[in-house]
Structure 1
Amino acid sequence: MKKQILSALIGLTIVSGSAFAAKEVHKPDQNFISVIAEAGITQENWDNGKNSKLIMKNAYRMTPHVEVSTRSNDVHRLENPVGFDLASYQGNDFDGPLSLDILMRDRLNMETVVITKDGKLIDEYYWNGTSKDSTHLQMSVTKSFTSLTASIFAAKGMIDMSKPITDYLPELKASKGFSRATVQEVADMRSGIKINFSEGLLWDDRMSNVQNWNGENKYPELKGIIDFASLVGERDDHGAGEYYDYQCTNTEMLAKVVERVTGDTMSDVFEENIWSKVGFEHDAKWMSNNDGEVIASGGLNITTRDVNRMMFVLINEGKNLKGEQIIPKKFIDNLLEGDDDVRSAWLLGKETVITNDAWYKDQIRVFNIEGHKFIAFFGIHGQITVGEPSTGIVIAMNSAQDEMEGIRAFGITLKQVIPTILKGVSAEAAK
């Protein structure tokens, strides 16, 4: 971490893109790309849902990426599983009951499942050629990791979540949307920005281009993600703070705030404050653009076991297995409590089709379903990790679903799979 005086200077400097790329940027794996081209998969279409079965454990090979080191052999061990037989439990799809293993693997296209209680391994399942060491593209689960990093600096007083985001990123004064939002509203997806989707996409392709998500940038006038964000407009139906509208650009700007107040790249800050401290087993691969500017909203490639370890910290009051405070407890308490702003904003959002009794705060969801209150990390193709504080149970699942934001898949997972496993693990632990 550089000295605070450097942080202050960078905070006052208007820059485009990443002003400080500390880590080596690994280029796309051209050998891998040439092999999968035989299956019709290219850098332009690799993120299409129909390619998920081949891509999710290899996604970082398709774009530039940086590596984030654990820096330590002090691993939160997951050994000696107690055992949890998914085949002994049932859930329902629309055509009737199925055993959980069939429901999860065959109907929901899940590839990995890791279940723990109180930080200890209950059981784990790996399908579709995966193993405990396989990385998996986390997509929007990455957003939660970005926010957890920001929470550390908010607790230190380096980020005031109530301030306008333009206090930290003055370039955003050019954006009608961001210019009226606070950092907290950005973190809660309540910024009031308006994204005009490109044809066939759920985002503006200028953003993915500047991130080298699908190859070389076709908009060379945009040098970095802030250049894109400064062009973002405002909603005309809701003011800032009112409406829950899930837009990746919000997360990217939250990461830029972290960079401005620390004077370091997001990947270095993340490595120093989270990845080297939780007890993760493997290094992370974080997809980036050619300059090493990481994709803070969706680029982490990590193992399912390591996602489980992160969620354990949240339901363990922010402490790792050794009892060291990693994430501020107040941040977690506020997350679990929610507030009127996030509750009312949720009711205006599209996810109420799953449940009204939930909220989105600080890039993380909290659900109340079937008598269970749990924290959830969510990814667009079925990357879902949940933690229930009252029981100490964590369920980490990584899927390769071909439909983005599949309502059926998310609904079955939230209302069938998760409650059944939570209930079953608790019952077996009580024997």
Structure 2
Amino acid sequence: MKKLMTVLSVLLTTSFAQATTFHTPDQAFLEAVGKVGITQANWDHGKNAKLVMQNAYRFTHYVELEQGSFIHDLGEAKGFNLSNVQGYDLDGALPMDELLRDRLNTEALVILKNGKLIDEYYWSGMDKDSTHLQMSVTKSFTSITLQTLVAEGKVNMNSLITDYLPELKASPSFAKATVQEVADMRSGIKIIFSPGRNWDERMSNVQEWNGKNLYPELRSIIDYAKLVDVRTDYAKGEMYDYQDINTEMLGMIIARVTDKPLTEAMENRLWKKVGFGNKAKFMSNSTGEAVGSGGLNVTPRDIAIMMDVLVNDGKNRNGDQIVPKSFVDSLLAGNDKVRTAWTNGSESKMATNGWYKDQIRTFDIRGHKFLAFVGIHGQVTIGEPSTGIVFHLNAAQDEMQAKRTVALTFLGVVPTLLEAIN
């Protein structure tokens, strides 16, 4: 009997080791950066971006996601000379490599066409195997994971979110929102920002984004979601309002439906299937509840490979259908609801011909219709299905959502690169 229990113990341990692996904050790293004034409390300040974007996961608990047996072979770089592409800042023309590196604090650029590597550039100590915090690009990965469940009939986007998360039935905001409205950032919630933040610090506390949770009564992100208020200026569904807690609720739905943490569901449904070349590091709190709206640390190549799936009608380059083609088509087509909501939101001031659907933006700028994953410090992934072009920019900008850098990127850099690559 004792021998049998020992064998079972080994089998269970082996099984656990093959799933996601949990890590605690890197104490040696925290001690080293603490000597120059960077702590868990302030690591995410923009002034620290050039250091921490490549090391963000070291400040928090995180879960490591394993890749599968199929690895997308990007091939050898065909070559693309950025210096020969002319970009423009407000003071005039610059070679594109200088514009990206010196004006936009870009640390990596990976360019694909039809799933093959055109070229890649790395600065600031990065290389092809370096991970980088993707911030809100994470949202797109959470949404794509959800869509795998929709494809299996396990989630209905038109159902109320409370069908999956009944704890929210008493919520003044989420109680009447559909899963689709939450995914489109049209849920009608109202967030009161903490001073100096673009979010409510209670949410980042329960996620232990900056160290110990100072609100111990909030044990899970869903505890915080119950407290979120409701808008009174726009009816539910009418306004695009970009709030992280919407994505976190999508992550909770994934966990409920699969009976697994978001990280494990994403590992099984994306990381082991898409063709990623490296492990991912997904930031979480001490209970392993992942930051589904902004905690993914991955290589630039792997982000580009995810977008390539969408450009390739939802298939990886092994021919496996990751998400339905109909989902990709719906992103590109949009609908009256997301267009109206976009018009009522702040981002329409930069790009009138665009929309936000299922945690992914679609733009039509200078004749280029493209999908975009977007992070707050200049992490941008672009996919143009009509040409098969994908590129990913990893930046470490010190100011979040600065008007100049956002406009420079989307109105200038993106269409210029699409034209030059094509």
Which TM class, normalised by the smaller chain length?
over 0.9
Asked if 1:329 is matched to 2:325, the reply is yes
Equivalence for 1:165: 161
Matched residue type, 1:384: V
> In structure 1, how many angstroms separate the alpha carbons of the residues matched to 2:360 and 2:51?
28
Provide closer, same or farther for how the CA distance between residues 35 and 211 of structure 1 changes in structure 2, counting only shifts above 3 A.
same
Equivalence for 2:287: 291
Equivalence for 2:415: 419
Matched residue type, 1:335: L
Asked if 1:114 is matched to 2:83, the reply is no
Q: Which of 389, 398, 413 is the equivalent residue of 2:385?
A: 389
Confirm or deny: 8 A CA contact 2:87 2:94 kept in the other structure: yes
Q: How does 1:97-176 map to 2 (within 5 A)?
A: 97-176=93-172
Equivalence for 2:52: 55
Equivalence for 2:394: 398
Equivalence for 1:340: 336
Equivalence for 1:255: 251
Equivalence for 2:79: 83
Taking only the aligned residue pairs, the percentage that are identical comes to 58
Q: Which of 158, 175, 178 is the equivalent residue of 1:179?
A: 175
Confirm or deny: 8 A CA contact 1:369 1:415 kept in the other structure: yes
> In structure 2, how many angstroms separate the alpha carbons of the residues matched to 1:307 and 1:331?
19
Asked if 1:357 is matched to 2:350, the reply is no
> In structure 2, how many angstroms separate the alpha carbons of the residues matched to 1:174 and 1:209?
22
Ranges of 4+ aligned residues in structure 1 off by more than 2 Å = 22-25
Confirm or deny: 8 A CA contact 1:364 1:377 kept in the other structure: yes
Confirm or deny: 8 A CA contact 1:78 1:120 kept in the other structure: yes
Asked if 1:31 is matched to 2:56, the reply is no
Q: Give the CA deviation at 1:23.
A: 4.3
Confirm or deny: 8 A CA contact 2:203 2:224 kept in the other structure: yes
Matched residue type, 2:251: A
Equivalence for 1:44: 41
Q: Give the CA deviation at 1:24.
A: 4.0
Confirm or deny: 8 A CA contact 2:20 2:267 kept in the other structure: no
Q: TM-score, normalised by structure 2?
A: 0.95
Q: Give the CA deviation at 1:163.
A: 1.0
Equivalence for 1:374: 370
Confirm or deny: 8 A CA contact 1:89 1:99 kept in the other structure: yes
Confirm or deny: 8 A CA contact 1:314 1:332 kept in the other structure: yes
> In structure 2, how many angstroms separate the alpha carbons of the residues matched to 1:79 and 1:301?
23
- Which residues of structure 1 form unaligned runs of 5+? 1-21, 427-431
Aligned-CA RMSD value: 0.9
Confirm or deny: 8 A CA contact 1:364 1:375 kept in the other structure: yes
Matched residue type, 1:126: Y
Equivalence for 2:11: none
- Which residues of structure 2 form unaligned runs of 5+? 1-18
Map Cα deviations across residues 242-267 of structure 1 (whole Å, 9 max, x no partner): 00000000000011111111111111
Q: Give the CA deviation at 1:173.
A: 1.5
- SS of aligned partner of 2:35: helix
Confirm or deny: 8 A CA contact 2:132 2:394 kept in the other structure: yes
Q: TM-score, normalised by structure 1?
A: 0.93
Asked if 1:231 is matched to 2:209, the reply is no
Q: Which of 397, 403, 407 is the equivalent residue of 2:403?
A: 407
- SS of aligned partner of 1:412: helix
- What is the aligned residue count? 404
Equivalence for 2:6: none
Map Cα deviations across residues 138-189 of structure 1 (whole Å, 9 max, x no partner): 0000000000000111121111111111111011112111012110000000
Map Cα deviations across residues 194-234 of structure 1 (whole Å, 9 max, x no partner): 11111110111000000010000000001000000011110
Confirm or deny: 8 A CA contact 1:25 1:290 kept in the other structure: no
Confirm or deny: 8 A CA contact 1:23 1:292 kept in the other structure: no
Q: Give the CA deviation at 1:81.
A: 0.8
Asked if 1:66 is matched to 2:57, the reply is no
- SS of aligned partner of 1:25: strand
Q: Give the CA deviation at 1:38.
A: 2.2
Confirm or deny: 8 A CA contact 1:104 1:110 kept in the other structure: yes
Map Cα deviations across residues 346-373 of structure 1 (whole Å, 9 max, x no partner): 0111111211100000000000001100
